[in-house]
Structure 1
Amino acid sequence: MIGVTPTAAWGEEQEPVDGMPTVEIGEDGEPSITVPEGDAPTDVQLEVLKQGDGAIVEAGDNVLVQYTGVAWSDGSVFDSSWERGAPASFSTSGVVDGFRQALEGQAVGSQVVVVIPPEFGYGASEGHELQDETLVFVVDILATQHLAA
């Protein structure tokens, strides 16, 4: 039997955390993100919007996710699997540190919002257009595949 992977997080909704970006979910599941007023945090901030009930993402896992990323400075979308029309698949070891922190330890089915200061994002990538930007991602964790032992 072939399983069908959902295209959006299905976990139980959690209470919002004050001071974090707010997220509205469209009918198709695509999030829109509103960045709060004020200075960006200087450490990685993580909030679980929906608590999933699936397998836990482990270090180095290959994950299947939907995500939208916006710049803290102006709220503009710089990357979105939703806009491309398909979930993205990658290893947690192949993304910026703040994104890795947002995935590892979370349950499949969860939706998280993460705020990533430059030093945990593209700060070390000299000349990268987002080098000095605090990033905000909403990530729907759809599946994980553990590394072979």
Structure 2
Amino acid sequence: MSETPLTKPEIEFPEGPAPTELQIIDVIEGSGDEAQASSTVDVHYLGVDFESGEEFDSSWGRGESINFPLRSLIQGWQAGIPGMKVGGRRKLIVPPAQAYGPAGMHPLGGKTLIFVIDLLGVS
């Protein structure tokens, strides 16, 4: 099955222990403008819990992309999106320290998270 950036991604359940470092995997290389650390990004994304595979958030579920200044997002996105090009799809596996911190501080605290992000635009 080939994925395209305009369809909701499927995330395969990972094997082995959760990584302790941010993992950046390009699923589809984009060919458009490149995201910078200072960019505002227009993205479609899907987020799942590494351990359970349970979806906790998805712009696909809301039926519209979202626009964010990159510097206002979790550290894993701030580190994992710059260098990505419009039209691309990237998977980020984000450890708790670069997501929502230790357990108890946030409902997703203490969890390693997987995001699949389609970069639709940068400004």
- By the TM > 0.5 criterion, same fold? yes
Match of 2:48 among 65, 70, 73: 70
Gaps of 5+ in 1: 1-22
Q: Could you tell me the percent identity over the aligned residues?
A: 34
Q: CA deviation at 1:34?
A: 1.7
Given that 1:57 and 1:104 are in contact with CA atoms closer than 8 Å, whether structure 2 keeps it comes out as yes
Q: Which residue of the partner structure matches residue 88 of structure 2?
A: 110
Q: How many residues align?
A: 122
Which consecutive unaligned segments of at least 5 residues does structure 2 have? none
Moved more, 34-43 or 80-89: 34-43
Give the TM-score normalised by the residue count of structure 1.
0.76
Is 1:80 equivalent to 2:58 in the alignment? yes
For 1:107 and 1:124, how far apart are their aligned partners in 2? 31
Aligned partner (choices 5, 27, 31) of residue 53 of structure 1: 31
1:29 equivalent in structure 2: 7
Asked whether the equivalents of residues 45 and 59 of structure 2 are also in contact (C-alpha less than 8 Å), the reply is yes
- TM-score (ref. length: structure 2): 0.92
Aligned partner letter, 2:45: Y
User: Contact 1:43/1:116 (CA < 8 Å) preserved in 2?
Assistant: yes
Which amino acid letter does the alignment assign opposite residue 20 of structure 2? T
What is the aligned-residue RMSD (CA, Å)?
1.8
Bigger relative contact order, structure 1 or 2 (CA pairs below 8 A, ≥6 apart):
2
Which residue of 92, 108, 113 maps to 1:130?
A: 108
